[in-house]
Chain A
Amino acid sequence: MANTSAAEQAAKERALAHLKHYFVSSDQQFDAAKMGMWLFLVTEVLLFSGMFVAYAVYRVWYPEVFAVASTELNPWLGGLNTVVLLGSSLTVALAIHAAQTDKRRALVVNLFVTVLLAAAFMVVKYFEYTHKFHLGIFPGEYFAYEEMGQRIVPIFFSIYYVMTGIHGVHVLVGMGVLTWLALRAMRGHFHSGYYTPVELAGLYWHLVDIIWIFLFPLLYLI
């Protein structure tokens, strides 16, 4: 250490600026953060699992009602949203790659494109929801759609609204996080030595995507 110049020393300091004092090394810090994120994703899966169980129970009890009720959902809009979300998963993966290879411009662009695709997803969702509200398809007790008066139909739409609604909240949270990361990336906070937040947000975003990949066929297709 003695013969390194002051400039090199300063550069090292900057490279380690992210390292918290209670970690021994950047690697330990990165591994800890990533493990924490995976555990958080486990809790997210379990959060949704309750709704998947509710879906499965009512589907087994009332298969024909679910078949009829699901015809109200537009598979083309759902399919469009699936493509949009899959595309955003690609761009977030490209963003992580750009961060790992020190391509700041590509990192920022890919993060912003991901946010735009997420926004497109929410816009489509907005039109789907408002169309149903227009028809009087509300959850549970407030269900007022004349053509489908069956007893269990409102429960299908309760499950639909709760599952897609909580998923939508996750998309909104993801948009906020990704925008924040894009702004930080513009200021050069991330580089090949430190890109933990980008990697973690990417993991989260893939989970949001995967949950939709299960929601789409269960609600729209079968």
Chain B
Amino acid sequence: MTEDKDRNETPQGQAAEERGDYVTHAKSIGSWLFSLDHKRIGMLYAVTVAIAFLLGGVFALLVRAELLSPGEDFLSAQSYNQMFSLHGIVMVFGFIIPAIPGFLGNFLLPLHLGAKDVAFPRLNLASYYLYLLGVALILVAMVAGSVDTGWTFYTPYSARTGPSVLFLTMAVFIAGFASIFTGINFIVTVHKMRAPGMTWNRLPLFVWSIYSTSIVQVLATPVLGITVLLLFLERLLHIGIFDPALGGDPILFQHFFWFYSHPAVYIMILPGFGIVSELIATFSRQRIYGYMAIALSSVAIALLGFLVWGHHMFVAGQSVVSSVIFSLITYLIGIPSGIKVFNWIATMYKGSISFKTPMLYALSFLVLFTIGGVTGIMVGVLAVDVHLHDTYYVVGHFHYVMVGGTTIALLGGLHYWWPKITGRLYSEAAGRLAALLVFVGLNLTFFTQLVMGSRGMPRRYNDYLPEFTFLHQLSTVGSWIMGAGLFLVAIYLLVSLFRGKKAGANPWGGATLEWTHTGPRPDPHNFHRTPFVTRGPYEFDRIPELVAAHRDEPPPDAQPDVHLNQDRT
């Protein structure tokens, strides 16, 4: 840490100031909106994803506020249906699927690999605009009215209800292609763009998790594409494939839908695993325990995730034999997930742990994801699920994974990489307070839902029996506490942009390339010269010598070979 104090006085720091880093080297709006730089595209995602999160969050708060007391309060039943549908659709397709790969994945993947950019920068920008178009269409559908299908668009209802389904299916189709293109881009980048010496077992675990995520994106999303395309045609031309009135089969839609949407929950959670691995290693100052086990368990989850979709359909009328098989394979997912949790705990053992804000999120993640995972196994148990299906227990379970897992990991990653992205430090005290608020609020919101669900409170109802009043009120108060925590995060991060202390190149003492080989904010082309990697990503004992060796390099201008191809396009 001490060697970072005088970072800006090094030759590299001076050179970077003259040419500008990735933020300052070009200032026009067009240079952001049409940038092919993976870091700037990552920022475009960050802003859009944040807006989607805000929107989805407001819908969630409205849903919770309506449930403060039994009966219809300020939302009619129809508006309530629209609110929870929009909450689900915006959060799933607008926020949680693109959030970590689009934002942190774009920003970090080439930096972690020692590459100048992703393999296909133009495709990368196209992905972003497809995603933006998808979000815009969701908003159009919202205005067109009666988005009341839930995020699952089950037929035959979705083939009959209001016209918004046409826009929604288009939105999902287009956002799906954004996801596919990002996945293709990242897989090829990991395979083909690694710096010399960056072998597969020297990849940071974040890269492994993004790689596994990309596999799922590429293999699952096309099936969603054809599913919503068929639904679109069903709506438009009444082709009858999913319509029982014409001899079609609505269960087929559910099979198609969950063939994508179960793997999709691993698109959502796997990147979170990657972030948590980075956080726990860095803030324990400890080489990660069981590197290969963590890396390959991500791949295992990605592949097993394709074989469990039927556990969403235990009561939908599939055969008992398939239900039993799907239930058994679902248990298997617990093994690689458990491997990860135990390895993270083992990494912390005898480490010198510092409880900085990102680490608080990582520790929250361990607790919350474990609750989410264990409740997931419980709803995967065939007999138990018949009781718990379509209750708040399921809602509580997947919110523990999606909010307690992915969103908490994203927040941890956001705080961890904030100095690298913005070059500024945020207020540590405010950060810790917000982490606490989010943790408390989240548990209060969703643990009560687990309890309600186990007592039979069905999901998606705008009304409930009087005996659930107290638990619903607790849950709503929890949502306010969580909302306050997230609001606080937004405030102090924005304040830090203008008033934050300048961060050094490596404020946390991280050992991956973005910390050791770039300035406080990376260059437009990431590295002054392509790194030659001689060590693993968590060899913290070798950072000081590495930084020192790096500093002894002659200034980049003395090395014309570095920018050999820079101006050829």
What residues make up the interface of A, taking CB atoms closer than 8 Å to B? 16-17, 19-24, 28, 31-33, 35-36, 39-40, 42-44, 46-51, 53-54, 57-58, 139-142, 151-152, 154-155, 158-159, 161-162, 166
Tell me if B57 is interfacial: C-beta within 8 Å of chain A: no
The answer, yes or no, to whether B399 is at the interface (CB within 8 Å) is no
Binding-face segment, B216-224, B317-325, B368-376 = B216-224
- How many Å from the CB of A51 to the closest CB on chain B? 6
Does the CB pair A21–B567 fall under 8 Å?
yes
Residue of A16, A142, A152, A158 touching B568 (CB-CB under 8 A): A16
Residues of A within 8 A of B566 (CB): 21
B233 on the A face (CB < 8 A): yes
* Bound Cα distance from A141 to B120, whole angstroms: 44
Partner of B119, one of A32, A42, A159: A32
Residue contact A36 to B188, C-beta cutoff 8 Å: yes
B-chain residues with CB within 8 Å of residue A33 when the two chains form the complex: 120
Q: Give the CA-CA distance A210 to B351 in the complex, in Å.
A: 56
User: In this assembly, does B28 line the interface, its C-beta being within 8 Å of a C-beta of chain A?
Assistant: no
Question: What are 29 A-to-B residue pairs whose CB atoms are below 8 Å?
Answer: A16-B565, A17-B568, A20-B565, A20-B568, A20-B569, A21-B567, A22-B117, A28-B193, A32-B191, A35-B187, A36-B184, A36-B185, A39-B187, A43-B180, A43-B219, A43-B221, A46-B226, A47-B225, A47-B226, A50-B230, A51-B226, A54-B241, A58-B241, A140-B239, A151-B246, A154-B240, A155-B240, A155-B241, A162-B230
Who on chain B is nearest to A17 by CB? B568
Pair A158/B239 contact, Cβ less than 8 Å: yes
Residues of chain B contacted by A44 (CB below 8 angstroms):
222
Nearest 3 pairs of A and B residues by beta carbon: A50-B226, A141-B238, A140-B240
A16: chain B residues at CB < 8 Å are 565, 568
Q: How large is the interface on B (under 10, 10 to 19, 20 to 34, 35 or more residues)?
A: 35 or more
Q: How many Å lie between the Cα of A48 and that of B237 in the bound state?
A: 20
Residues in B neighbouring A43, C-beta threshold 8 A: 180, 184, 218-219, 221-222
Distance in angstroms between the alpha carbons of A161 and B236 in the assembled complex: 14
The reply to whether the CB of B121 lies closer than 8 angstroms to some CB of chain A is: yes
Count A-B pairs with CB separation below 8 Å: 127
B217 smallest CB distance to A (angstroms)? 9
| Alpha-carbon gap, A23 to B116, bound state (A) | 8
The stretch that binds A, out of B248-256, B330-338, B449-457, B507-515, is: B248-256
Cβ 8 A contact of B233, one of A40, A46, A58, A162: A162
Contact check, B192 vs A140: say whether CB atoms are below 8 A apart.
no
Contact, CB under 8 Å: A35 / B568: no
**CB within 8 Å of A: which residues of B?**
115-117, 119-121, 123, 180, 183-185, 187-188, 191-193, 218-219, 221-223, 225-227, 229-230, 233-234, 237-241, 243, 246-249, 252, 256, 525, 530, 565-569
- Docked pose: A145 CA to B229 CA in angstroms: 26
Q: A48 contacts B568, CB within 8 Å?
A: no
- CB-based contact A32/B193 at 8 Å: yes
Given A35-B188, A39-B188, A47-B225, 15 new contacts (CB under 8 A): A16-B568, A20-B569, A32-B191, A36-B119, A47-B226, A50-B222, A50-B256, A54-B230, A57-B249, A139-B239, A139-B240, A142-B237, A154-B247, A155-B246, A155-B247
